[in-house]
Amino acid sequence: MTVETEIKLPLESALHGKRLLKRAGFRPRKRRALEQNTLFDTERGNLRRAGTALRIRQSRGRVILTYKGPLRPGKHKSREELEIEIGDAAQGARILARLGFGPVFSYRKFRTEYAGADSKGIICLDETPAGCFLELEGPPRWIERTRRALGFRASDAITASYIQLYTDASIGAGAVLSGMV
């Protein structure tokens, strides 16, 4: 089973994030690219109520279908994550529709991936309409060590999803596709 463990750290700007990462010895692993993310659910919101998610992500010429399981208890956002490349977003959405899932939330972000010398985790610099964030993904000890090295306190860590961040920032135009949020 693949488990994703992560936190987000809020930034003043993308430039601020780039400076912090450079100072801490992280270098770009993948160049800045636009991501289009669409979350799917049933009309009754069965996945949301179960604390799970189903997403189609388009970026860098790839289309990835992702299932995210319920959150596990802890100070980091940790959950099962299953991914498969599907190649065609529209066809993937049609298949999901036949299974009773429709689009409920869509958002875009620019993402740049960074890695350090130890390669135990990755950091993504995400630029969104809800703000800029560093997303640290890896083993919990690596996340904590990296958070401190970047100058952030434990209380700075965010475990909210992007749908929550968009909602909290009152961003709905072009992001929300249905009344799920």
Q: What is the pLDDT of residue 169?
A: 84
Tens digit of each residue's pLDDT (9 = 90 or more) over 88-144: 999 999 999 999 999 999 999 999 999 987 879 999 999 999 999 999 999 999 999
Q: Which domains does the chain have, with CATH numbers?
A: 3-168 (2.40.320.10)
pTM: 0.89
Say if residues 56 and 87 touch (Cβ distance below 8 Å): no
- Residue 30 CB partners (closer than 8 Å, separation 6+): 60, 111, 112, 113
Tokens of 63: 């289309």
Question: Average pLDDT over the chain, rounded to whole?
Answer: 92
Q: Would you say 181 and 170 are in contact if contact means Cβ atoms under 8 Å apart? A: no
Q: What's residue 171's pLDDT?
A: 62
Q: What percent of the chain has pLDDT over 90?
A: 87
Q: Please state the φ and ψ torsions of residue 128, each to the nearest 5 degrees.
A: -130, 165
Q: Tokens 């289309």 — which residue?
A: 63
What distance in Å separates the CA atoms of residue 53 and residue 60, rounded to the nearest whole number? Answer: 22
